[in-house]
Amino acid sequence: MLHHAAQLIRPLLLSILIALALYVAAVAAGDARAVAAALARFTFWDIGLVLALSLVNYLLRFGRWHLYLLRQQIRVPLGSNLLIYVAGFALVTTPAKVGEVIRSGYLKQYHAVGYAQSLAALFADRLLDVAAVLLLALLGSLAFPEYRLVVGAIALLLLITLPLLHSPLLQNFLRHLASRLRRPALRRVAGQLLHLLAAAALLLRGHTLLLGLLLSLIAWFAEGFGFWWICQVLGLELSLSLAIGIYAVAMLAGAASMIPGGLGSTEAVMGVMLYALSGDLSLAVTATLLCRLATLWFAVLLGFAAIARLGVPNISPLCSGVIAPQRGETRSDK
C-alpha cells in the first residue's frame, strides 16, 4: 500500500513544485501588489460561482462516463462510480495522466471490471473532450489567427481518428500485424489493444456519440463561462463567446504541448491572449491563475479527497501495460 501511495504522491509533488515556481514567476512579472489588488475584487459569491461552474463540468463529464460503462453492460453503483471518476482527477498533472488511469484500477479492484472496458471509456471520454473544446476554440481562433494552425491540426487529427476507429480495413490490418508477432506476450497485448479499440468504437457511434459530445460541449461551456465571469469581475471587457474561445484555445495549446495538465503552456497562451486584448499584464496574470486554480487545481483537490475515501489502488498492472480483455477475467492480470 505504501509503495502504491508513493507511486501517486511523488509525481504530484513534482508537478505542484513546478506549478508554484511558474505561478510565483508570473505574479512577479505582473507586479505582486497589482495582482493582490486585483484578487481583492473577488467576493465569496464570485469564487463560489466559478467553483460551482467547475463542478457542473465535472458532473456532466461523469454522466458521460457512467453512460459509457452502461453502454458496455457494466453496472457500477452511481455513488461508487462518482468517487472513482473524481479520483481520476488527482494526478492529471503527472506524466501519462496516471491519475485518470487509476479509475481502471478502482473498477477492477472493487467491481471486477476488465481494464479494456474502462480504458475504452477513458479513450472515448478524452477524445470527445478534445472534440468539444476544439469546437469552442473556433471562437477564439477567429480573433487570434496565430492559433488557427494549432486548432486546425487538432481538428484534422480528430477527423482522421474517428473514421479509422470504425474502419474494418484498419482492424484487419492490426489483426494481421498481431498475428505476425513472435512473442506470445506481445501477441496477447496486441489482441487486448484490439479489443480496447473495438470497445471504444462502440462508444463513438450513433446516439452514444452525439449525446457524449453534447454533454461535453455543455460541460466545457460551463468552465468557459466561469473564465468569462473572472474576466468580468476584473474589468476585462470580453464578450462571452471570445472568453470561451480564449479558454478553449489555451486548453488545446496545453494538450498539444504534451506537457502533463498543460502546466505552463496553457497558462502562457491564456495570459498572452488576455494581455494582447487588455494591455494590462497584472489583470491577465490574475485571470489566468484564478482560472487554473478554479478548474485544474480544484479538480486535483477533489481527486485526492476521493482517493482518501476509496484508498490507494494497485496501478502496477496498468503501468506495466497489462489490459484484461473481458469483465471479470483475471488470468491476464496476474
pLDDT at 228: 97
pLDDT at 39: 93
Q: How many CB atoms lie within 10 A of CB 304?
A: 18
pLDDT at 165: 73
Please report which confidence band the pLDDT of residue 91 belongs to, taking 50, 70 and 90 as the band edges: confident
pLDDT at 309: 92
Inside any domain, residue 58: yes
Inside any domain, residue 234: yes
Residues 22 and 86: their CA atoms lie apart, in Å, by 26
Mean pLDDT in residue range 140-154: 74
pLDDT at 274: 93
pLDDT at 170: 67
SS3 56: helix
Reported as a single tens digit per residue, the pLDDT across 273-302 is: 999 988 889 999 999 999 999 999 999 999
pLDDT, greater one: 215 or 183: 215
pLDDT at 333: 36
How far apart, in Å, are the Cα atoms of 42 and each of 39, 235, 236, 286, 294? 6, 11, 14, 11, 13
Cβ-Cβ contacts under 8 Å for 11 (sequence gap 6 or more): 91, 94, 95, 98
pLDDT of residue 236 exceeding 50: yes
Asked if residues 147 and 248 have their Cβ atoms less than 8 Å apart, the reply is no
Asked if residues 41 and 233 have their Cβ atoms less than 8 Å apart, the reply is yes
Inside any domain, residue 265: yes
Calculated CA dihedral for residues 145, 149, 153, 158, nearest 10 degrees: -10
Q: Return the axis-axis angle of helices 265-278 and 240-256, rounded to nearest 10°.
A: 150
pLDDT, greater one: 190 or 251: 251
| Residue 209, Cβ density class (10 Å: 0-12 exposed, 13-18 middle, ≥19 buried) | middle
Inside any domain, residue 94: no
Residues 143 and 158: their CA atoms lie apart, in Å, by 23
Asked if residues 326 and 116 have their Cβ atoms less than 8 Å apart, the reply is yes
Contacts of 292-298 with CB under 8 Å at 24 or more apart are 292/266, 292/267, 294/47, 294/50, 294/51, 294/54, 294/226, 294/230, 295/54, 295/57, 295/223, 295/226, 296/92, 296/93, 296/261, 297/19, 298/51, 298/54
pLDDT at 331: 35
pLDDT of residue 325 exceeding 60: no
Mean pLDDT in residue range 195-204: 79
pLDDT, greater one: 154 or 171: 154
Q: Name the domain count of the chain.
A: 1
Reported as a single tens digit per residue, the pLDDT across 95-144 is: 545 557 889 889 998 998 888 888 889 989 988 998 899 889 887 777 77
Inside any domain, residue 21: yes
pLDDT at 185: 65
Inside any domain, residue 43: yes
Mean pLDDT in residue range 251-271: 82
Mean pLDDT in residue range 44-72: 96
DSSP 135: H
pLDDT at 326: 43
Mean pLDDT (the chain, rounded): 82
Inside any domain, residue 141: yes
Asked if residues 20 and 192 have their Cβ atoms less than 8 Å apart, the reply is no
Task: Provide the domain limits for residue 257.
Answer: 9-73+111-301
pLDDT of residue 195 exceeding 90: no
Mean pLDDT in residue range 259-266: 78
Please report which confidence band the pLDDT of residue 84 belongs to, taking 50, 70 and 90 as the band edges: very high
Inside any domain, residue 159: yes
pLDDT, greater one: 22 or 148: 22
